[in-house]
Amino acid sequence: MNRTIKPVRVYRQVADSLEARIADGEFEPGQRLTTERDLSREYGVSRTCIREALLALEIAGLVTIKVGSGVFVLPPQAPDQIAAVPAAMPDQNSPSDILQSRLALEPHICRLAASAASAEDLDTIDGYVQKMREEHRMATETENGDREFHFAIARAAQNPMLLEFLQRVWDEMTGPMWQALQRHIRTPLMRLKWIEDHEVIVAALRSGSPDAAQSAMHAHIEHVMEALEKAKFR
């Protein structure tokens, strides 16, 4: 029989270790976990990795995250609540996995779109920026304008396979880890910054310069990555 051993993501290794420590009573219900900085030093990994491990613990119902106060251990689930909690921590692509994939893919798509986009395409793309502004003004939880903006650029690039790849990556952003992270760190100021980035991308596309369009998209995704790296639970 062939046996396949799947690699375990680093954040999952950290999450599994913390789960075991909670089960062993090292951290009791109601107790605040060690800070991100200290956990990062203890495990020898980045704070981003620690944050992703803590998100996995929260989704599994083992801790609650209170931004600014810390991460607190929850009491064991009552029998009638266990069914509502995932049986195990999620094994999914982390936010950093997603952003690294976007950084590898989207700047090139934007470069192609700068050469291939029609005037109608550009107006459609710009329209989604206005939708983002409306969602920001209404303080909605949804960010449909953002998603459709990136898909409209991919359609304008006129490469169906690249559009399929992009949809696969963005589908990961509907998962519990990405959504939980956004709920914890999203701010009105951050959303406004992303809108400004998108306006720069539109201007680069309208200029017809592939280099400018590629650079604008690359800078935007790097800004998102920097924001996530700077964010902290405690």
Whether residue 197 contacts residue 142, with contact meaning beta carbons closer than 8 Å, is answered with no
Low-confidence ranges of the chain (pLDDT < 50): 1-5, 82-87
pLDDT in tens, 39-65: 999 999 999 999 999 999 999 999 999
Which residues have C-beta within 8 Å of that of residue 109, sequence separation ≥ 6?
153, 154, 157, 159, 162, 166, 217
- 3-state DSSP call for residue 64? strand
Task: Using alpha carbons, list the distances in angstroms from residue 142 to 55, 178, 183, 222.
Answer: 20, 13, 11, 22
Whether residue 77 contacts residue 51, with contact meaning beta carbons closer than 8 Å, is answered with no
Q: Looking at residue 4, what is its pLDDT?
A: 46
Q: Do the domains at 10-84 and 95-230 have one common CATH topology?
A: no
Cα gap 56→65, rounded to integer Å: 11
Burial of 132 (0-12, 13-18, 19+ CB in 10 A): buried
Q: Is the CA virtual torsion 221, 222, 225, 227 positive or negative?
A: negative
CATH level 2 (architecture), domain 10-84: Orthogonal Bundle (1.10)
pLDDT in tens, 15-43: 999 999 999 999 999 999 999 999 999 99
Q: Looking at residue 231, what is its pLDDT?
A: 80
Q: Looking at residue 185, what is its pLDDT?
A: 86
Residue 209 phi/psi, 5° resolution? -95, 110
- Sequence-ordered strand ranges (E) for 28-153: 63-66, 70-73
Q: Looking at residue 80, what is its pLDDT?
A: 54
Residue type, 175: G
Q: Is the pTM of this model over 0.75?
A: yes
Task: Using alpha carbons, list the distances in angstroms from residue 149 to 98, 112, 169.
Answer: 17, 15, 15
Q: At what angle do helices 144-156 and 95-116 cross, to 10 degrees?
A: 50
Candidates 1.20.1260.10, 3.40.50.300, 1.10.730.10, 1.20.120.530; CATH matching 95-230: 1.20.120.530
Task: Using alpha carbons, list the distances in angstroms from residue 198 to 125, 129, 166, 232.
Answer: 9, 7, 17, 25
Q: Looking at residue 7, what is its pLDDT?
A: 59
Q: Domain locations in the chain? A: 10-84, 95-230
Q: At CA 175, angle to CA 13 and CA 58, rounded to 5?
A: 50
